[in-house]
């Protein structure tokens, strides 16, 4: 727990956060600018411009102010809809630094991607490839494509966030990728430039990456032997986040990048990475206030003003919530921490032993900067919460609360 406590200092510290909560509506997301930057630079330092690119997966967090900070550091982005691509363009990320993944890109999205000249569209199926071929021919425009390999590797993560197995809808097998790569070679409008994989999210071991890298390099060798050009290998994102200090997290990124760069050494290939959670996760907290204590004959419920619409990972994946108490109580009790949404799954923690929370007390949910706000909704016609940035001196509102 100490490690997490230290983390609060990156958000202004306990006292400032309490003062913030007295002056602003809760729930509210707060991001630490310095953590976003640290995390990004830990990746970036391993990849100079000619060694590859860090394409931040902005589905994890697409706040424009955070994107502008990353763009200023030279970040590329990984997007999964044209709206994400447009937001990145608006925030100063050039088209040549954008990769576009996803199994279900619409025709209009592909048209825009072709017009914008992206770094690559990640092709996920033969049908998508053929649509792109037709669009390029109609438009008489060239496009850069990379092909998403499904290596059928178990990333040992929650099944709901695994993407690199045949069971999952993503990517194509080795033979399909090889076939489409060759077909690109025959098409004057298609420039095949890379191979892509993404194994899943919340991955804590290097082994799945090693297995996928092996497969990808075998495929790349085969393609090159047939005179195809492979500029880059995109190894996706996936580095996990748990209750850990900033230093431990940065260390995990460094070790991952070192391994990837070492294994690709001498292969004459650029490396792209697409981190999402490991850039934003520990850079965001959600402040919430205790609305009521409710004692039943069975248990104690502590009801807070944040709900599953504000932070849905516990409801969706049984993700644990790391809590920090900002009140004055000293005693502990066993309780359920729940939100106001009309669903029993609107539960952040069940039967935990935690500090006795009184009405009005403030809690911080830690490590919620990734897939927190970006997955929030207006369910029950609740507002989407405001977002603030702590820049080391002050809290700046970077997204007003949105009323339903
Ligand atoms: N690249 C691609 C193609 C992806 O699909 C994803 C995430 C990433 C990169 C970034 O992965 P990360 O570094 O963030 O693990 N909502 C879930 C996570 C879904 C991830 C989807 N794809 C959660 O809250 O755990």
Give the pLDDT band (50/70/90) at residue 77.
very high
For residues 289 and 303, give the distance between their C-alpha atoms in angstroms, rounded to a whole number.
Answer: 9
Ligand 1, atom 20, lies closest to the CA of 201
Q: What is the mean pLDDT of residues 40-69?
A: 95
What pLDDT score was predicted for residue 221? Answer: 98
Choice among 91, 136, 342, 397 that is catalytic: 342
Q: What is the mean pLDDT of residues 176-199?
A: 97
Give the pLDDT band (50/70/90) at residue 3.
low
Does the CB atom of residue 277 touch ligand 1 within 6 A?
yes
Please give the distance, rounded to the nearest whole angstrom, from the Cα atom of residue 327 to the centre of ligand 1: 34
Burial profile 136-149: b = 16 or more Cβ within 10 angstroms, e = fewer: beeeeeebbbbbbb
Backbone phi, then psi, for 48, in 5-degree steps? -75, 170
Q: E-strand spans in 19-84?
A: 28-32, 52-57, 76-79
Q: What is the mean pLDDT of residues 57-75?
A: 98
What is the SS3 assignment for 143? strand
- The lowest-confidence range among 17-31, 145-159, 340-354 is 145-159
DSSP-assigned beta bridge partners for residue 363? 288, 325
CB 190 within 8 A of CB 132: yes
Backbone phi, then psi, for 285, in 5-degree steps? -125, 160
- State the helix-helix crossing angle for 174-186 and 126-139, rounded to 10 degrees: 10
Domains of the chain, each with CATH number or no CATH: 2-31+282-399 (2.40.37.10), 32-279 (3.20.20.10)
Q: What is the mean pLDDT of residues 45-53?
A: 88
Q: What is the mean pLDDT of residues 82-90?
A: 98
Secondary structure element (H or E) that encloses residue 47, with its range: none
Torsion angle of C-alpha atoms 340, 345, 349, 355, degrees rounded to 10: 20
Secondary structure element (H or E) that encloses residue 398, with its range: strand 395-399
The answer to whether 55 is a known catalytic residue is no
DSSP-assigned beta bridge partners for residue 200? 162
Share of the chain above pLDDT 90, in %: 93
Q: Find, among 285, 295, 310, the residue nearest to 395 by Cα.
A: 285
Ligand 1, atom 14, lies closest to the CA of 276
Q: What is the mean pLDDT of residues 179-197?
A: 97
User: Ligand 1 pocket check: which of 54, 147, 237 to mutate, most ligand atoms within 8 Å of Cβ?
Assistant: 237
What pLDDT score was predicted for residue 396? Answer: 98
Asked whether the predicted pLDDT for residue 145 surpasses 90, the reply is: yes
Please give the distance, rounded to the nearest whole angstrom, from the Cα atom of residue 25 to the centre of ligand 1: 30
Please give the distance, rounded to the nearest whole angstrom, from the Cα atom of residue 237 to the centre of ligand 1: 7
**How long is the chain?**
404
Please give the distance, rounded to the nearest whole angstrom, from the Cα atom of residue 273 to the centre of ligand 1: 12
Secondary structure element (H or E) that encloses residue 333, with its range: strand 332-338
| pTM of the full structure | 0.97
The secondary structure of 246-260, three-state, reads: HHHHHHHHHHHHHHH
Please give the distance, rounded to the nearest whole angstrom, from the Cα atom of residue 201 to the centre of ligand 1: 5
Burial profile 264-299: b = 16 or more Cβ within 10 angstroms, e = fewer: beeeebbbbbbbbbbbbbbbbbbbbbbbebeeeeee
For residues 109 and 113, give the distance between their C-alpha atoms in angstroms, rounded to a whole number.
Answer: 6
Does the CB atom of residue 346 touch ligand 1 within 6 A?
no
What is the SS3 assignment for 378? coil
Does the CB atom of residue 54 touch ligand 1 within 6 A?
no
What pLDDT score was predicted for residue 49? Answer: 72
DSSP 174-204: HHHHHHHHHHHHH-TTEEEEEEE---BSSB-
Q: What is the mean pLDDT of residues 243-258?
A: 95
Give the pLDDT band (50/70/90) at residue 1.
very low
Give the pLDDT band (50/70/90) at residue 165.
confident
What pLDDT score was predicted for residue 4? Answer: 54
Asked whether the predicted pLDDT for residue 97 surpasses 70, the reply is: yes
Does the CB atom of residue 201 touch ligand 1 within 6 A?
yes
Secondary structure element (H or E) that encloses residue 159, with its range: none
- 349-401 per-position pLDDT tens digit: 999 999 999 999 999 999 999 999 999 999 999 999 999 999 999 999 999 99
What pLDDT score was predicted for residue 155? Answer: 86
Q: Which atom of ligand 1 is nearest to the CA of 319?
A: 25
Asked whether the predicted pLDDT for residue 148 surpasses 60, the reply is: yes
């Amino acid at each position: 727990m100490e490690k997490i406590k230290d983390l609060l200092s990156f958000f202004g510290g306990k006292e400032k956060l309490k003062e913030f909560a007295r002056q602003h509506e809760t729930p509210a997301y707060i991001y630490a600018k310095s953590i976003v930057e640290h995390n990004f630079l830990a990746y970036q330092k391993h990849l100079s411009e000619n060694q590859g690119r860090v394409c931040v997966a902005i589905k994890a967090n697409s706040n424009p102010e955070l994107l502008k900070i990353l763009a200023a550091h030279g970040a590329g982005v990984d997007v999964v809809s044209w709206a994400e691509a447009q937001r990145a363009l608006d925030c100063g990320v050039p088209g040549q630094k954008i990769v576009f993944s996803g199994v279900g890109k619409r025709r209009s999205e592909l048209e825009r991607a072709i017009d914008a000249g992206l770094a690559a569209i990640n092709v996920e199926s033969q049908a998508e490839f053929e649509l792109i071929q037709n669009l390029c021919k109609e438009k008489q425009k060239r496009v850069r494509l990379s092909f998403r390999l499904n290596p059928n590797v178990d990333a040992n993560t929650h099944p709901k966030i695994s993407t690199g197995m045949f069971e999952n809808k993503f990517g194509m097998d080795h033979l399909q990728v090889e076939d489409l790569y060759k077909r690109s070679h025959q098409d004057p409008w298609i420039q095949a430039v890379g191979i892509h994989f993404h194994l899943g999210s919340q991955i804590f071991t290097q082994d799945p990456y090693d297995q996928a890298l092996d497969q990808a390099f075998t495929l790349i060798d085969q393609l090159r032997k047939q005179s195809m050009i492979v500029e880059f290998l995109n190894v996706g994102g996936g580095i996990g986040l748990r209750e850990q200090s900033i230093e431990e997290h940065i260390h995990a990124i460094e070790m991952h990048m070192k391994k990837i760069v070492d294994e690709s050494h001498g292969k004459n290939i650029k490396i792209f990475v697409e981190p999402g959670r490991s850039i934003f996760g520990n850079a965001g907290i959600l402040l919430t206030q205790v609305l009521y204590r409710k004692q039943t004959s069975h248990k104690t419920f502590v009801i807070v003003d944040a709900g599953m619409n504000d932070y849905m990972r516990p409801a969706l994946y049984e993700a644990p919530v790391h809590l920090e108490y900002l009140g004055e109580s000293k005693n502990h009790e066993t309780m359920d921490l729940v939100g106001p949404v009309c669903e029993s799954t609107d539960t952040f923690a069940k039967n935990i032993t935690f500090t006795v929370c009184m009405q009005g007390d403030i809690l911080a949910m830690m490590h919620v900067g990734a897939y927190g706000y970006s997955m929030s909704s207006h369910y029950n016609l609740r507002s989407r919460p405001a977002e603030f940035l702590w820049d080391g001196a002050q809290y700046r509102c970077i997204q007003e609360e949105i009323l339903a």
